Amino acid sequence: MARIIVVTSGKGGVGKTTTSAAFATGLALAGNKTAVIDFDVGLRNLDLIMGCERRVVYDFVNVINGEANLNQALIKDKRVENLAILPASQTRDKDALTQEGVERVLTELAKDYDYIVCDSPAGIERGAMLAAYFADDAIVVTNPEVSSVRDSDRILGILASKTRRAERNDGRIKEHLLLTRYSPARVKKGEMLSVDDVRDILSIDLLGVIPESKSVLQASNSGVPVILNLESDAGTAYEDAVARYLGEERPHRFITEKKRFLERIFGN
C-alpha cells in the first residue's frame, strides 16, 4: 500500500512545487517507486519544474473523466528510474476534480507505487482540499515570514479536521515542517523569523530547512529538480530532508550563518 504525501502551504509562492519535485525525485533515488501528481488544475507547473512539459499528452483530469487511462497519462521520468509524473490540466479549473475521481486515481496508483506525492495548489479551496483529503503524511512548506506561518497554521488545522483520516478517526496525518527560502544572515538582521520562532508557533516536527539559493531558480528554469544538483546547498538540504523522512537521523544544516555558507553563495 502506498503512502500518500501532500505538499501544502496555504500561501502561494513558498516553494510547494519545487518541494514536490525535489521530494518525489529524492524518494525515487532512494529506490522507492514514486508518483507525483500536480493538483494545481488550471495553473500547471510541475511538468515545467520536472522538465517534462513537452511530453504531456493526457492529464489528471482526463484520467478522472475516463478519457484516458492512468498509464497513458503518467510520464516516466527520463533521469530517474521509479519516478512518474501525473500532470495537471492547463485548460480546466479545479472544479473538474471530484472526490470520487481523485480517490479512484490514488487507489489505482497505490497498487504499483510506494509513495504518491500530491502537489497541492495554494489556498484552501477545492483543489487544495482534495490534494490533502487522502493524505497519510503532510509536508507543510513555510517561508520564515509571518503571513506564510499563519497560513501554514490554518492548513494544519484543516489537516487535523477535514481529511479522510480525521473523518474516519483513523489516526492523525503525520505533519512535517519544511522551512524554505531560509537565510541565516537575514534572520540575524531581524528581517526573517528564525527556525525556533516558526517551530514555536507551529509546534510540529521539523523535517528540514532549505536555504535561500540561486540554485533553486536555476533548477526550476532548466527543468531539473534541485535535488539532482548535490553541489548546491538547497539540493543537499532536500536530500537531508528526504533521508529524515525515510527515518534516518541527520543533523540540521544551513540554520546558522557560517563563513563557509557565505562563500558557497558567492562562489556559485
Q: Which residues bind another protein (CB under 8 A)?
A: 98, 100-101, 150-151, 153-154, 156-158, 160-161, 200-203
Closer Cβ to another protein, 153 or 257, answer by number: 153
DSSP category for residue 179: E
**In the complex, what is the shortest distance from the CB of residue 204 to another protein, in angstroms, rounded to a whole number?**
9
Residue closer to another protein by CB (options 101, 223) is 101
Cα–Cα–Cα angle for 126, 82, 28, nearest 5°? 75
Q: Bridge-partner residues for 236, per DSSP?
A: none
Question: Contact, 122 vs 93, CB < 8 A?
Answer: no
Q: Which is nearer to another protein, 99 or 256 (CB)?
A: 99
Give the pairing of strands 3-8 and 205-211: unpaired
Q: Which of 238, 150, 143, 153 is nearest to 192 (CA)?
A: 143
Give the whole-angstrom CA distance, residue 186 versus residue 143: 13
> Residue 100 or 249: which CB sits closer to another protein?
100
- Phi, psi for 175 (deg, rounded to 5): -100, 135
Q: Residue 52 has which C-alpha cell?
A: 517534462
The minimum distance between CB 123 and another protein, in angstroms, equals 13
CB of 205 to another protein, least distance (A): 13
Among residues 48 and 160, whose Cβ is nearest to another protein?
A: 160
Q: Report, in Å, the least distance between residue 224 CB and another protein.
A: 35
The full 3-state SS of 79-105, as one line of letters, equals CCCCEEEECCCCCCCHHHCCHHHHHHH
Minimum distance from residue 100 beta carbon to another protein (Å): 5
